[in-house]
């Protein structure tokens, strides 16, 4: 049996089980047109024909026996335009800047993490960070070269009483540092809670005693994913030779603490690294980082030294 006949039979079966007789020839014709002529993905074509029949026969949606897209693992999502179902934990929610999007963020299972978008038109109750859900009948999509899943009107979100594990927290990444955020460089922290001060004010303790620290908040791109990373003073010192004392000296010399950030940006941005760290709620907290071509650089450095 060819694929379109198979799909035809599925639809006929579904309506029959729900108590309706449908014309299989007509279904076959419509499916063939959509799939072969208009290159509509199979799942989408089946859905279109099903919706057409429901309208024709005046079948209420709740009366039609549910068919669900196949359960898939996140690592298996490779092609856009497929209807799938996923069991996943909401890893984090981002602020949505578009009125068409009601929620956007990351969901994960034990095989990986993927971006998800809930369209406003989907009209779904909001999901919560940390909770696990069945995302049934969602559509795979690709945006900026990365896969994501979209929740639309035909999708169903159902909270699960399962504990879905995320991929291992320890992570090694090889990629380029493509951005460094403003609140990086020579920063000041609250003595009581260690939070970073903004304009010398702790978000909890207000005007407070503070101490200097050095850190980088940045974004690493490994060609497949973006990682928000945090480098501590030790990481920065190992990469650049600039530790807290050197940073203070730079700030003093230029009478500007921001000059440290400029210096670090010029040394670190756009270069490739191998880094190991722990995945937090949002950030990859780096334990260990090195320039990818460190050995080559060392060699070049010592050669230069010899000729100087
Ligand atoms: Zn504080």
The residue ranges of every structural domain in the chain are: 3-63, 74-159, 170-307
Cα of 213 from ligand 1 centre, angstroms: 14
Q: What is the mean pLDDT of residues 87-99?
A: 90
State residue 96's pLDDT score: 83
User: Thinking of the domain 74-159, which architecture would CATH place it in?
Assistant: Beta Barrel (2.40)
Cα of 206 from ligand 1 centre, angstroms: 7
Cα of 218 from ligand 1 centre, angstroms: 23
Cα of 92 from ligand 1 centre, angstroms: 25
The answer to which of 58-67, 140-149, 154-163, 266-275 has the lowest mean pLDDT is 58-67
Q: Is the pLDDT score of 197 beyond 50?
A: yes
Q: Is the pLDDT score of 304 beyond 50?
A: no
Cα of 212 from ligand 1 centre, angstroms: 14
Cα of 201 from ligand 1 centre, angstroms: 8
Q: Is the pLDDT score of 303 beyond 70?
A: no
What is the rounded CA–CA span in Å between residue 297 and residue 300?
Answer: 5
pLDDT in tens, 40-77: 888 889 989 999 999 999 887 767 766 677 889 999 99
Cα of 187 from ligand 1 centre, angstroms: 14
Domain 74-159 matches domain 170-307 at the CATH topology level: yes
Cα of 190 from ligand 1 centre, angstroms: 5
pTM of the model: 0.47
Percent of the chain at pLDDT > 90 equals 61
State residue 298's pLDDT score: 53
- Those residues whose beta carbon sits under 5 angstroms from the ion ligand 1 are 190, 192-193, 195, 202, 204-205
Cα of 233 from ligand 1 centre, angstroms: 20
pLDDT in tens, 258-284: 999 999 999 999 999 999 998 876 789
Cα of 270 from ligand 1 centre, angstroms: 34
CATH 1.10.760 is right for the domain spanning 170-307: no
Cα of 87 from ligand 1 centre, angstroms: 39
């Amino acid at each position: 049996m060819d694929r379109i006949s198979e799909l035809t039979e599925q639809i006929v079966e579904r309506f029959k089980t729900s108590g309706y007789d449908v014309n299989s020839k007509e279904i076959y014709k419509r499916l063939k047109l959509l799939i072969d002529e208009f290159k509509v993905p199979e799942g989408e074509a089946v859905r279109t024909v099903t919706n057409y029949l429901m309208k024709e026969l005046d079948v209420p949606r709740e009366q039609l026996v549910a068919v669900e897209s196949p359960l898939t693992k996140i690592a298996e999502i490779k092609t856009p335009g497929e209807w799938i179902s996923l069991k996943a934990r909401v890893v984090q929610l981002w602020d949505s800047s578009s009125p068409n999007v009601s929620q956007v963020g990351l969901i994960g299972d034990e095989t990986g993490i993927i971006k998800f978008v809930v369209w406003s038109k989907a009209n779904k109750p909001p999901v919560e960070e940390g909770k696990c859900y069945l995302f049934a009948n969602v559509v795979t999509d690709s945006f900026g070269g990365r896969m994501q899943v979209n929740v639309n009107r035909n999708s169903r979100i159902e909270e699960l009483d399962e504990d879905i594990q995320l991929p291992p927290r320890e992570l090694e990444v090889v990629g380029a540092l493509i951005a460094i955020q403003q609140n990086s460089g020579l920063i000041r922290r609250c003595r009581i809670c260690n939070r970073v001060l903004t304009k010398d004010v702790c978000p909890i303790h207000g005007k407070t005693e503070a101490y200097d620290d050095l850190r980088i908040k940045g974004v690493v791109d490994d060609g497949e994913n973006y990682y928000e990373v945090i480098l501590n003073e030790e990481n920065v010192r190992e990469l650049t030779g600039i530790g807290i004392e050197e940073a203070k000296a730079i700030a003093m010399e230029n009478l500007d603490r921001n000059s440290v950030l400029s210096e670090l940006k010029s040394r670190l941005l756009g270069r490739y690294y191998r880094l190991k760290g722990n995945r937090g709620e949002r950030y990859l907290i780096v334990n260990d980082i090195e320039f990818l071509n460190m050995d080559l650089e060392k060699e070049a450095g010592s050669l230069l030294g010899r000729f100087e």
